[in-house]
Amino acid sequence: MSKVFFGDSRDLLSKIKPLSVDVTITSPPYFDMKDYGYPNQIGYGQDYNTYLNDIKKVFKNVYEVTKDTGSLWVIIDTFRRDGEVIPLPFDFAKQASEIGWKLQDIIIWKKDKTAPWSRKGVTKKIFEYILFFSKSPNFKYFSDRVREVKYLKEWWIRYPERYSPNGKSLEEIWEFSIPVQGAWGNSYIRHFCPLPEDLVRQIILLTTDEGDVVFDPFSGSGTVPAQAAFMKRKYYGFELNKNYIEMFNTYLNDNLEKKLVAYNTAKLSLEQTSFRNKIIGLRILKYIRVLSNNLKINGINILKIYAEQTNQKLTHRHDVASARYIMLCERQHLENEIVDDIKKMIKIRPLSGFGIKAEFVFIYDYNDFVKLLFDKKNIFSYSMNNTHQYISKLTKEDQIDKGFIFSSIELNINEELYKGLK
C-alpha cells in the first residue's frame, strides 16, 4: 500500500511496519523559522535542544522501519541565531550516529535560485547540505544509473579505457534549481521550500529498485512520494496539512499515467546509449592499435587489421565488450609466436585495463583480407595513429592502402567540440 498519512511523523510507528522502508528522503522542518499552523509542531516555537530531541525521535523511528539495506537522505542547512551560525547539519549528524545511522557522504546541493541579498559577515546562500546515511554497510547504491555523459572534457576520446561506458561518476556538488512556485498549476499551494524533482529522482535511482518503498516523514507538497510513484516505487509519507495531502492526491491522479510513460521511455536515454556505444567503440579500436604497436616493438609486424564487436558472453567482471580481430600478418611470423606474445601483452597494463574480451584470427594472404572486407557492409578505415576519426568509408579496393585498421564501427568524433568543458 502507498499512502501519505495525515498525522505527526513522531507517531510513524503506528502506521509503518518495522523493516519495510528502502529509502527515506526528507527535509526536516526549519528550526523556529516557519509557523506551519499546528500546535506542538516540530521547529516553530521550540528551543533548540527540544527541536533536536524531537528530530532525533523521528529518525530513531525511521531507523526502526528501514530495511538493513536501506538508506536515509536528509536535506538540511545551517541557520543564524543571535548573531552566529548554528551548525544544525553537524548537530543532526551526531544525533543520527547515536541512533545507529552510518554517515556515508556529505553532498552540497547548489540551489541556484536564492534570495539575492547579503549582509555584513554573511555571503549569499546558494547551497544546502545533503547528508547520506546507511543503516548497515550492506546498503543499496547503484552509481552507474546516474553517471554524467554530457559535460566531459576531450580526454575521454583518446583515453576511453579510463572512462566508464556509463559516464563520469557523481561528484560531491549537485546542481538543481529550486522549483518555481506554482509548478503544479493554479491550484498548487505554495510550500516554504519544495525539493527539486530531479534531485529526488536521482536519489531514488541511486538507492532503490522498482517496487521498493520510498518514505518522507515530512512530505510537504509531496515531491518525494510523487516521484516514487512516477518511478514505479511504493511510498509512504506524513503531513500535518490536509490541503497539501489533497493537492498531492489530485496531482498524482491527474499525472501518474503520463509520468509512467515518460519514466519507461527515459530508463536509458538516447544520450546515454550513444555515449556508451562511443566509449565501447573507442576501446575496441584503440585496444588493437596499442596491441599492434607493442607487437611491432617485439619485431612482429601486423600489416592490416579488421575489428568488429561481437556478442560473446562476458565472463570477467571488468569486461565491457567482446571483439574479434582478424590480423593480416607477414608470412615469416609463425602463428604460435604471435599468439604467445599477445597472451603476455593482454594480461598486463595498459591492455588489461580496457575491458575487452578479445578473439584473434590470423591470415597471411592479402587477397583473402581484401575479400573479407568487401564481403562486409559499411566498413570504415582508420590510420595507425587515430581511431576516433575514420579516414573514409570503404567503397573501392585502392582505399585499403590508406588504412591500417578497418571496422564496422563508425567513429568520427571531433575533439575540438569538447575542449574547454568543465
Per-residue pLDDT reduced to its tens digit, 63-77 = 999 999 999 999 999
Backbone angles phi, psi at 303, to 5 degrees: -85, -45
- From 234, 267, 300, the end of a domain falls on 267
Which CATH number does the domain housing residue 215 bear? 3.40.50.150
Residue partners of 401: CB distance under 8 A and separation at least 6: none
- For 278-309, write each residue's pLDDT tens digit: 999 999 999 999 999 999 999 999 999 999 99
- For 189-234, write each residue's pLDDT tens digit: 444 457 899 999 999 999 999 999 999 999 988 999 999 999 999 9
Q: Considering its fold, how many domains does the chain have in total?
A: 2
pTM: 0.76
Do 58 and 118 sit in the same domain of this protein? yes
Could you tell me the residue range of the domain that residue 241 belongs to?
3-267
Do 325 and 246 sit in the same domain of this protein? no
66-76 β-sheet, strand order: 3-6, 234-239, 213-216, 21-26, 66-76, 127-134, 102-110, 173-175
- Three-state DSSP class for residue 35: coil
Do 143 and 194 sit in the same domain of this protein? yes
Do 260 and 408 sit in the same domain of this protein? no
Task: Return d(Cα 223, Cα 220) in angstroms, integer.
Answer: 8
pLDDT of 115: 54
Q: How many residues does the chain have?
A: 422
Do 406 and 258 sit in the same domain of this protein? no
Mean pLDDT lowest among 83-92, 93-102, 181-190: 181-190
- Three-state DSSP class for residue 162: helix
- pLDDT over 60 (residue 406): yes
- pLDDT over 60 (residue 114): no
- pLDDT over 90 (residue 388): yes
- Three-state DSSP class for residue 181: coil
- From 233, 249, 267, the end of a domain falls on 267
Do 290 and 379 sit in the same domain of this protein? yes
* Distances, alpha carbon 340 to alpha carbons 294, 298, 357, 362, 367, in Å: 13, 12, 17, 13, 26
- pLDDT over 70 (residue 105): yes
Q: Of 199, 213, 214, which is closest to residue 146 (Cα–Cα)?
A: 199
Q: Is the dihedral of CA 41, 47, 48, 54 positive or negative?
A: negative
pLDDT band with cut points at 50, 70 and 90 for residue 173: very high
Backbone angles phi, psi at 159, to 5 degrees: -130, 60
- For 372-382, write each residue's pLDDT tens digit: 999 999 999 99
Cβ proximity of 204 and 235 under 8 Å: no
- From 267, 300, 335, the end of a domain falls on 267
Task: Return d(Cα 279, Cα 122) in angstroms, integer.
Answer: 45
Do 255 and 279 sit in the same domain of this protein? no
Please state the rounded mean pLDDT for residues 9-26: 96
pLDDT of 58: 96
**Strand 405-407 versus strand 380-382 pairing type:** antiparallel
pLDDT band with cut points at 50, 70 and 90 for residue 270: low
- The one-letter amino acid at 303: L
Mean pLDDT lowest among 58-62, 73-77, 212-216, 397-401: 397-401
pLDDT band with cut points at 50, 70 and 90 for residue 31: confident
